[in-house]
Amino acid sequence: MNPVVAISNKFSCWFDSKKDRKISGRNLGVFVPTPYAKNYGSTGSQSVPYLGIAEVMKDLTLTKDDSFIDIGCGKGRVIAHLIDQGCQCKITGIEINPVVASVAKDWTKSYRNVEIIEGDAFGLDYNDYTVLFMYRPMETDTFKLFVNLLEMQLVHSIRLYYYVDAQSGYYLNDRPGWNLIRREEIYRVNGRHIHKEPQRYSVWTYEPPEQVV
Q: Is 203 helix (H, G, I), strand (E, B) or coil?
A: strand
**Taking the model in full, what pTM does it have?**
0.94
User: What pLDDT is attached to residue 188?
Assistant: 86
Nearest to 179 by CA among 160, 200, 199: 160
Q: In the beta sheet, which residues pair with residue 178?
A: 206
Residues of the chain predicted below pLDDT 70? 1, 3-8, 211-213
Element (H, E) at 115: strand 114-118
The upper half-sphere exposure of residue 93, i.e. CA atoms within 13 Å in the direction of its Cβ, equals 31
User: What pLDDT is attached to residue 127?
Assistant: 98
User: What pLDDT is attached to residue 4?
Assistant: 54
User: What pLDDT is attached to residue 64?
Assistant: 94
Q: Which domains does the chain have, with CATH numbers?
A: 3-211 (3.40.50.150)
User: What pLDDT is attached to residue 211?
Assistant: 55
User: What pLDDT is attached to residue 5?
Assistant: 59
Gap between the Cα atoms of 115 and 11, Å rounded: 31
User: What pLDDT is attached to residue 10?
Assistant: 78
* Residue type (1 letter), 110: S
- CA 105 to centroid of chain Cα atoms: 17
